[in-house]
Amino acid sequence: MANLLACGLAASGRVVVLDTSPRLSSPWPAWTAGQNAGGLAALPADQPLSRARVQQAAAQRPGIADASWQVLTDGREWHSAPLALPQDPAAWHQLAAIGGWQTVIADTTHPVAHDVLAARCEDRAGQTRGWCDLPFAVPVLCAAATASGVQALQQAVMAMHAEGLPLQRAVAVLVASTDGRPPAVVRAGATMLTARTAAVVNLPHDPSIRAHGLREPARLRPRTRQAAAALAAAVLASAHAAWGQPLPEAARPRPLSVSVPAL
């Protein structure tokens, strides 16, 4: 979903995707293979970083139209030692601020409902709150357009609502696994989500994604491209509704007060 959102937003300004997943469970290294970008491994935390250095570490990705975008991932060989990626969203925010991109998409993998509930039980701030509290953050929640997928998404939405997280800015995406009309339970779930979130976007089934992944956006069906544009428009509309249009300049992050594992 981060790939499609980046494709949709690329025409609006400089875009980067932050791959927060461990390398061996992430699709991004395969999608950026063969480039000379140093990736996250080229950005040690014990050395000062310049905008040029961070930009050079980011790999290039083609957009749906002419606009391209970038991704920061760990593109080394699979047998390389894993990087100790930071868990604090503020560390990723600092890295993106150094790079100077206008739009930053964090591709996160943590289970939202579990994270919110665990943080509440342990009396701490969870990752979900950390990401939502970043400047101009618009949460994008994704689920399969199935009964179980919608149920999981509804649980995440209820958990976020109970903790006062900004659902009014969130965009929900329902991803179809087959062609045809969504099941009644999915349509009912979408109605509930529409009342709780800023927007609900339906991503249609696309056989080219199943066969080829998102390595080549040019293979996408026209309706998939339209859905990517609709998702980007929904995210921008949510941001503009919350903070105005044009968006004000984001404040530069201050240094973290706690140590962060090296990138």
Cβ atoms of 138 and 126 within 8 Å: the answer is no
Task: Give the separation between CA 38 and CA 58, rounded to whole angstroms.
Answer: 7
The angle, 0 to 180 degrees and rounded to 10, between the axes of the packed helices 184-196 and 147-162 is 20
Within 10 angstroms of residue 255's Cβ, the number of other Cβ atoms is 7
Within 10 angstroms of residue 159's Cβ, the number of other Cβ atoms is 19
Cβ atoms of 9 and 61 within 8 Å: the answer is no
Give 107-111's long-range contacts (Cβ < 8 A, gap of 24+).
Answer: 107/2, 107/17, 107/18, 107/19, 107/20, 107/21, 107/26, 107/28, 108/20, 109/20, 109/21, 109/25
pLDDT at 255: 61
Measure CA 253 to chain center.
20
pLDDT at 67: 86
Taken in order 7, 13, 14, 15, is the CA torsion positive or negative?
negative
Measure CA 72 to chain center.
12
pLDDT at 88: 94
Task: Give the separation between CA 117 and CA 111, rounded to whole angstroms.
Answer: 10
Cβ atoms of 59 and 26 within 8 Å: the answer is no
Measure CA 78 to chain center.
23
Element (H, E) at 202: strand 199-203
DSSP 21: S
pLDDT at 260: 47
Beta bridge mates, 19: 107
**Beta-carbon contacts of residue 31 (< 8 Å; ≥ 6 apart):** 3, 61, 71, 213, 214, 215
CA atoms within 13 A on the CB side of 106: 27
> Per-residue pLDDT for the chain (263 aa), expressed as one digit of tens each?
999 999 999 988 899 999 999 999 999 999 998 888 889 999 988 888 999 999 999 999 998 877 899 999 999 999 999 999 999 999 999 999 999 999 999 999 999 999 999 999 999 999 999 999 999 999 999 999 999 999 999 999 999 999 999 999 999 999 998 888 889 999 999 999 999 999 999 999 998 887 777 878 888 899 999 999 999 999 999 999 999 999 888 777 766 554 444 44
